[in-house]
Chain A
Amino acid sequence: SAVISQKPSRDICQRGTSLTIQCQVDSQVTMMFWYRQQPGQSLTLIATANQGSEATYESGFVIDKFPISRPNLTFSTLTVSNMSPEDSSIYLCSVEGGGGVYGYTFGSGTRLTVV
Chain B
Amino acid sequence: GENVEQHPSTLSVQEGDSAVIKCTYSDSASNYFPWYKQELGKGPQLIIDIRSNVGEKKDQRIAVTLNKTAKHFSLHITETQPEDSAVYFCAATGGNEKLTFGTGTRLTIIP
- Interface residues, chain A, CB within 8 Å of chain B? 1, 4, 6, 31, 33, 41-45, 48, 92, 94, 96, 103-109, 111
B45, A43: Cβ atoms under 8 Å? no
Q: Which of B45, B98, B100, B103 has the most CB of A within 10 A?
A: B98
Q: Which of A33, A104, A107, A108 has the most CB of B within 10 A?
A: A104
Interface size, chain B (Cβ < 8 Å): 19
B 79-98 binary contact with A (CB < 8 Å = 1; else 0): 00000000001010000011
- Interface residues, chain B, CB within 8 Å of chain A? 34, 36, 41-46, 49, 89, 91, 97-104
A43 interface neighbour in B42, B46, B49, B89, Cβ under 8 Å: B89
Q: Which residue of A lies closest to B89 (CB)?
A: A42
Supplied contacts A45-B100, A104-B99, 18 more A-B pairs, CB within 8 Å: A1-B46, A33-B98, A33-B99, A42-B103, A43-B89, A45-B98, A48-B98, A92-B44, A94-B99, A103-B34, A104-B46, A104-B91, A106-B36, A106-B43, A106-B44, A106-B45, A107-B43, A111-B41
